[in-house]
């Protein structure tokens, strides 16, 4: 049975910011293409939620976070096996200082 994807408000905001930035700097076509690639990466998790590696920088949290890299972005998520959910917590630009990843809710 495939898992259901749920986006946190924070992750949705990050996705909107990424789209807005690329739309302004590179145009709508590039922005839409990047967003489509990110969403396609997330869709892979529906059938294979364990393909992402554990996120070491968030190990101190009560929730076990994993990540999948798409382009320059880490899709940070957790798996709720009991309820069949994948919760996308953050879309993190890997060109940033890694310590900023701790902002993830």
Cα–Cα distance list, 3 to 18, 55, 79, 101 (Å) = 25, 20, 9, 25
pTM of the entire predicted model: 0.90
The structural domains of the chain, with segments of one domain joined by +, span 4-93
Q: Cα 40–103–101 angle (5° rounding)?
A: 60
Chain segment 21-66, per-residue pLDDT in tens: 999 999 999 999 999 999 999 999 999 999 999 999 898 888 999 9
Chain segment 69-105, per-residue pLDDT in tens: 999 999 999 999 999 999 999 999 999 888 787 666 5
| Domain 4-93 is found in CATH 3.30.2310.20 | yes
Q: How far apart are the C-alpha atoms of 68 and 55, rounded to whole Å?
A: 10
Question: How confident is the model at residue 7, as a pLDDT?
Answer: 98
């Amino acid at each position: 049975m495939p898992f259901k994807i749920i986006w946190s408000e924070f992750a949705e905001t990050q996705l909107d910011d990424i789209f807005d930035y690329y739309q302004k700097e590179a145009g709508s076509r590039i922005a839409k293409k990047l967003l489509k690639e990110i969403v396609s990466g997330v869709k892979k998790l529906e059938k294979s939620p364990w393909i992402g590696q554990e996120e070491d920088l968030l190990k101190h949290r009560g929730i076990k976070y994993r990540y999948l890299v798409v382009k320059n972005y880490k899709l940070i998520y957790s798996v709720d096996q009991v309820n069949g959910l994948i919760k996308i917590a953050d879309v993190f630009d890997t060109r940033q200082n890694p310590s900023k990843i701790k902002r993830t809710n």
